[in-house]
Each structure stands twice: as C-alpha cells, then as structure tokens.
Structure 1
C-alpha cells in the first residue's frame, strides 16, 4: 500500500482483469493462460496472474518482432 493514498495495490490479477489490461477477449486470454504463454497459479477454483507475468508476456511479444 502506498503511504498516504489509502489505496491497496493488487498483488495478482484475475484472468478477466488480465484480458481487460491487454485489450483481449476473455476466450483468447484463457487460451494464453491455459497454454502457459501467460503464467498463472491456481488459487482455489480460480487462476491468478502476477503483474510481472503480464509484463513477461508483453516482453515476449516484443522480442518476437525485434
């Protein structure tokens, strides 16, 4: 949590949140997660994605065109 803001920063994201962040549809994002292209962990019945794993996925896309 940032001092003075009172706002808690999420430690991980849900798959729908990742889809929204990337501007992808939910089906495409679920496919990327299930294939391991975007790393995730299972938390109960849900998948969770760390913010740095989203960054790693974006970096891998950039590396493909570089």
Structure 2
C-alpha cells in the first residue's frame, strides 16, 4: 500500500522551506539560526530544521508578543 506524497510530513526542512512557511527571507532564517533563536541540525554541509523546532519558535514569538 502506498501513501500519497501529499500526506507525508517531512521529518526535516530546509532553510528555504522554513522561510516559505514563516513568510520571511531565507537570510532571515539563517540569522535566526546564527542567533540560536531557531535550532537546526547539520547533515554534511547542509542545515536542516525539524518542524517541531519551527513550531516551538512560533510559540515563543507568540508568548513574547502577548
């Protein structure tokens, strides 16, 4: 049984995908990573971000805005 690709949630996201999700620039994502506001893992020369880390970042930002 195959699962349609649209129902599979990626385990790791690229900086470009995170930028698209948050509607910010890719360079802003890298700035967030450099400032340790958003966590990532390194695989080879690439940085990948877990969706849970993006959600945690959003929650922190929402809490700070209140």
Q: Per residue, is there more strand in 1 or in 2? A: 1
List runs of 5+ in structure 1 lacking aligned partners: none
Q: What's the TM-score, normalizing by structure 2?
A: 0.86
Q: What's the TM-score, normalizing by structure 1?
A: 0.86
Does 1:60 find its partner at 2:55?
A: no
Does 1:40 find its partner at 2:9?
A: no
Does 1:6 find its partner at 2:4?
A: yes
Runs of at least 4 residues off by over 6 Å = none
RMSD: 1.5
Tell me how many residue pairs correspond in the alignment: 64
Q: Distance in 1 between matches of 2:26 and 2:16?
A: 6
List runs of 5+ in structure 2 lacking aligned partners: none
Q: Per residue, is there more helix in 1 or in 2? A: 2
